[in-house]
Each structure stands twice: as structure tokens, then as C-alpha cells.
Structure 1
């Protein structure tokens, strides 16, 4: 979920080479920070309705409903950058596809761990569900940690990777749950959690990008096609997207893939060498602003089909896309052109070590649940006091992520 990328930044007419896309890292960090906050905020009572996810049956969306789409958009932005980097480094397409499948499987595995953690049956597994989740996630950390290059400790690092993989395999092997019919079942795959959805979307959009990567306008064409698929599916003009599981049809109803493809298209506007022409900042800003404004306008025109994150309607997609494009344009100007970075220093751990930061709140919840700690379920969970608690919790997670990153604990898939 993290990419180190090269980007030429613009200053009027002349472009100069910069070591990475600061605005992408900061956008990702801001999104991750907001996700931690709103996930914790969901347990706080007595707040205005727009601080929570909108119910499925109501045609409305809140800022909370725009956090996941922002992740999809950033995922899309990094796809052409990361894949082109790998192509230049090693032109082997089989190895590139192997990397894509490995990354997809890793995200799905992590998603299934989080999605199934609370559904296990302790009597059938022999261990509590909280302990099962802790061990499974610990295995993931050991396996996907970026170990430093060291001849002295190379054998130790290989052993740690093997232990991590073995731990995940064992946890998956022993998992058992009881269905609503009273039957014993294994891992439920119908809901792969956010990480799983990101994995399937990454696979789908990477496929579309690679087969048409030589055509600059291809991302915009694919974006229109995927949006049309979302419209047709939401309007119930075509039934198959809702009937096929994601492991067969990773495009879903087109919603998630369209948001990520919008990120690919936005990347082609800004990032020279990955599809963009050597344009001025003014041309890039105008193109992006028109793209974002068009998404908002067409989203408004499609409101008769409903506005809902839960139902993945096209208006939800287009409103989220338009907002993400316009926000990224502002961040690009502030961070990559004006080099104003100090204000976003608090987002650095979330932007640089995103996957670890994402998992830290889950580690916390499973550990405190296993210890029987329930104080915050009855205290500091109402009104402004609850908001303050969520803000402190978010800050502590970011601080812990920064500390672990300094200690060379960094996850990469």
C-alpha cells in the first residue's frame, strides 16, 4: 500500500526531477489518519448524523463515506507509477504479473483475517478468536516485514519469514465458524474487508492498465466504461455483476474499479514519464480541475439512481472521485510545487508505512479484547469527550507507527 515513486515537478514552464511524489504520500497519510479517526468515532454516541456512515436505504453520503474511495483513488494513482518502475527495472512481463498476483493475494489474505476474526468458534478452534487474530496478524507482520540487508542476520530473517508464513497457514487451517444454519464452516469469503476489496480492485485495474498502457487516453476510456458498468448495474439493466463473486469478476459492479481508474487517469495528468506529456503546471491544473468538476456534475445528474456507499451507486463514486481529484490538485500545488511539507509532518508514518499503520488499531482492539479491557465501551464514548478520545487515539497510533518505523518495522507487499 505504499510506493516510492519518481516525479517531475513543475514550476511554470520548466520541469525538474524530484525524488518522490510528496502529494501522493501526504494524500495517503491524510486518508489513513482520517480512517483511523472515523473508525474509532463510529463507537461514539450523540454526534450529528454526518459523522457516521450513511444507512443503505437513505440517499445521502457523509464525509465518512468518502474515506474508502480516497484509498481506491490513491491506489489507482500509484498503479502506473509502480508498474512502469518495475517494467523499467525488469522488463519480464511474467514476473510483473507474478508480482501483481502476489500483491493481490496478500491483500485478500489480510482482509480475510480481519473479516473473519470475530466470527470464529472458540470451541471448534481450540483458541479464542482474539488470540487467533493476533497470531494471524503477527504472522503477516513477520512474513511481509522489510528486513534490512545483512549478511550477519540473513539466516535469522529467513527463519522469521518462514515462521510468519507458517503461523498464517496454521491459523487459516484451524479456523472454524458456525453458520446461521448451525453448520461448521471455514473462512467466509463473501466480505474480504477493505484490504480485500483493495486487492481485487488492484488486480482488475492493473490488468486494464497493462493491456492498454501505450495509449495515453486509455485510462479515461476505461474510466467511462467502468462508470457505465456501474450505472447499468445500479439501474438493474444488467444483472451479472451482482451475481458473480469477486474472485471470478474482480470488477464488481464497476464502482470500486472506476474510482481506482480515475486515479490512474489523474496520474496520467500529473506524472511525466508515466503517460503525461511535458505540460506546464497551469495545463495540468486546468485538466485536473475540469476532470474533477465533470465528475461532480455527472454525479449530480445521476442522483436519480441513488446516493449510497453501501449500494455503491455511481453518484457516490463520482462525488468521491471529483472531490479526490480537486483535493489532490491542491496538494500537488502546495507540496510538490511550493514544497510546503512541514504542515503535514504528522501524516508521515501513515503515508510512508501505510499497511502497518492500518493494522495497528486492529492489533490494539484484539489485544484489549483478549485482556477483557472494556473501559472505553462505557466511558468517554459520548459527544465531544468521545471525539477528543478518538483524536488522542489517532495521534497515539500515528506516534506508535512512527516509532516502529524508526525501529525498522515496515510492511511491504
Structure 2
């Protein structure tokens, strides 16, 4: 099982011009995307599955619906970001406090991402611990530390004790982690964490930070998000055309903008968030929808025009970005009309908890994987893993994770950054 196929958006409490509340369409959009993510991650382990249900290889100029799951998550990060910033500044207008929150949020995602990226590569001999057990304990530490503990006084000794225990467990697991690497001299050496790939959560953490560097100083300018979107798409185009090469030679932790693709996906969401939920002169829903549809169609057309630069998620090409933004824009416009304007949201009850308790839901498949591999109970991992039967098993597993997410949400087990 792998969670590398897509990504997790940050969770927020939304705020509109009238009263603070969660935006139902954003939660449902996030929950539906999470549902697809769980399914495609599970089905990717099956044999005999058609290519259109897998990621396209890097050398192929094509994209499937699977390649659009991660972009949809980053787009949803953009939908939530202006609302979260507005609500936080309303609660505490301190800009330094805002930046501290952004740094801690980014760091938390990176810490969790490095656990997922490194767990399977750990050495049982060097750690004296099963690598899956290490991953399980490290994630449990993160859950204890980041859990909200609804209904309890945040300053109570119980809550503080649970958070301290979680942090201590997390630090302890990081301290003991060791892996084996083969040196150029042919000798195996012990090494600590591999930082070369921070997993999807870490990528989101860095992208979130990079977007905030641009968005926070310019957030009061109505057209700034659109200008940044166009600018980073342009940067992505000249990177794909190989007119500049320096992003390829800088590690992600030195240059979080990468080649502009991930940042552009988030800014696409910010543009649409400001259109539907921002404080501006366009208050008529029909007018907002028309503008969103125009934006969506234009980005799809731009993606078609940029096709000579390549079509690939792995290479993060402009067409992949633009087509994903266009499709996400049209999907959200429809969901906003159905769920927020017409107030029809019961049909998405199966996915709603995953959209409101996203970080916990994102980690559930990994927790399951670490538990079964630690205990050695691999029956379901090794049976019914081919073709249509494998697809049905993946759908059942997805339903199981969604049900577990709903149960944990009801029990108020909820992580928040």
C-alpha cells in the first residue's frame, strides 16, 4: 500500500463575510478527492488493472484521472487558504504570530511526511525494531501531539500530558531511526533519515510555505492571486522548455517553489476561492459562476496550447497543471452550486467526514499497513489482487477507511495543524 499517489490539503475553519462557518462544498470536494485517493492508491497494488487507472510513466506524454488527484488536493489547499488566513487574523491580527503558525504548520507536515517516506527503508538490525512498528509508533506520536481533544480544556494536565507523551514518542522514534546505505567503497554504512523525498505531506508543507511567501504580503490586492497564478505558470513553462535550469539543481528544501507547478495549483484554488468566497463587488452567484466557468475553460484551452512542452504529472508540466486547475475549477463551481446554494449535501455524507477530518483520514491507510505488516497478518494483502476482483477489493477497502474516518470523527479523534 502506498500514499504517494496524491495528497492532503490543510484543514481550516472557514470564514465568510457573514458568519464564520465551514464551507460545505470545500469539505465535500476534499472528501470526494480523498475517496478517489484511497481507491487509486489501493488499486495501484493490483495486477491486471488497465493503465487508465494508474499514473502515466514519466516518459509518456499523457495523463489519467489518477494523475489529477494530487493537483486537486493542492487546488483545495488554495480554496481554503484565504479563508484560514482571514479567520486567523480576525482572531489575532499579529503578523508575526501568523508567520509562526505558518512555519509550525509547514514543519508538522514535513515531519509527518518524512515518517511515511522513511519507514519502509529502516533497518531492523540497526534500530532493533521492525520498520513498520517504527512507522506505527512515530505516527501515533504525531497523532497524540496534533489531536484536538475536543471537549477537554486545552490547558488541563491531561491534554498537556497526552501532547507531551506524543511529542516524546515522536522525538524518540526520530532519534533511533537508522537505515543502511551502500557507499561508493562497497561498504554498507548506517545513516539517518533520507531527506531527498519528503513524501506528499512534506511537499504540501513546502508548497504551502512557498505560496504564503507570495500571498500574505499581497493578500489585500484583489487581482494579486491571478497575477501570481499567471507568473508561476510562466515560470513553469520556461522551466519545461529548458530555458532556465536552476530549479533542477536546487533541492526542494532550498527552493520550495520547485518549477512553479505546485505553487500554480494552489494559486489556482486561491483565485477561485476569492471569486466565490472573497470580499469584492461580485455578489451575484450567476455572475460568479460565469466567471469561474470562463476561467476554467481558458485554463483548459491554455493547457491544450502548452501540450508541446509535455503532458506529465511526474515531470510537472504546464499542461498537467492547467488541465487540472481547469477541471478542478469546473468541479468546484458545480459543487458550490449544489451544496452551498441549493443546500443539497446529504448525497455526499459518505465522504463528508473524510473532508472535515482529512489529516487523520490520510494517515489511516498507512496506519493499517504498518499494523498488518508488524503483526505479519498479510492475508488480505496477498489474496484477491488481480483484475476486477482486485478493483472490488480496493473499493471495499476504501469504504472501510471512510467508515473508520466517520467513526473517529464521531469520537472526536481529529488532528489539526
1:222 aligns with 2:228: yes
Aligned pairs for 1:269-280 (under 5 A) are: 269-273=275-279, 276-280=280-284
Aligned to 1:2: 11
1:315 aligns with 2:319: yes
Q: Distance in 2 between matches of 1:19 and 1:128?
A: 44
Matched residue SS, 1:127: coil
Matched residue SS, 1:44: coil
Q: Distance in 2 between matches of 1:19 and 1:153?
A: 25
Matched residue SS, 2:349: helix
Shift of 1:235: 1.2
Deviations 1:108-134 (A, max 9, x none): 000000000111111111111001000
Matched residue SS, 1:133: helix
Deviations 1:326-348 (A, max 9, x none): 00000011101111101100011
1:198 aligns with 2:220: no
1:70 aligns with 2:72: yes
Q: Distance in 2 between matches of 1:310 and 1:180?
A: 27
Aligned to 1:163: 165
Shift of 1:249: 1.0
Match of 1:248 among 254, 259, 267: 254
Matched residue SS, 1:237: coil
Match of 1:363 among 361, 367, 372: 367
Whether the aligned pair in 1 keeps the contact of 2:13 and 2:87 (CA below 8 Å) is: no
Shift of 1:232: 1.1
Shift of 1:362: 0.3
Q: Distance in 2 between matches of 1:223 and 1:6?
A: 23
Aligned to 1:380: 384
Q: Distance in 1 between matches of 2:11 and 2:155?
A: 25
Q: Distance in 2 between matches of 1:318 and 1:68?
A: 13
Whether the aligned pair in 1 keeps the contact of 2:27 and 2:355 (CA below 8 Å) is: yes
Aligned pairs for 1:77-226 (under 5 A) are: 77-150=79-152, 154-181=156-183, 182-226=188-232
Q: Distance in 2 between matches of 1:152 and 1:269?
A: 36
Higher mean C-alpha deviation, range 388-397 or range 368-377: 368-377
With normalisation by structure 1, the TM-score equals 0.95
Aligned pairs for 1:325-336 (under 5 A) are: 325-336=329-340
Shift of 1:17: 5.7
Q: Distance in 2 between matches of 1:48 and 1:26?
A: 28
Q: Distance in 1 between matches of 2:200 and 2:55?
A: 15
Q: Distance in 1 between matches of 2:153 and 2:55?
A: 49
Aligned pairs for 1:257-296 (under 5 A) are: 257-273=263-279, 276-296=280-300
> For residues 153 and 250 of structure 1, do their structure 2 counterparts lie closer, same or farther at Cα, with a shift above 3 Å needed?
closer
Aligned to 1:13: none
Shift of 1:90: 0.7
1:389 aligns with 2:393: yes
1:43 aligns with 2:11: no
Task: Structure 1 unaligned segments of length 5 or more: list them.
Answer: 9-15
Shift of 1:21: 1.1
Q: How many residues align?
A: 404
Q: Distance in 1 between matches of 2:384 and 2:281?
A: 53
Deviations 1:317-367 (A, max 9, x none): 111110000000000111011111011000111011000000000000011
Shift of 1:48: 1.5
Matched residue SS, 2:312: coil
Deviations 1:270-310 (A, max 9, x none): 0133xx33421111011111111111101111111111100
Match of 1:407 among 385, 407, 411: 411
Match of 1:324 among 319, 323, 328: 328
Shift of 1:222: 0.4
Matched residue SS, 1:183: strand
Matched residue SS, 2:351: helix
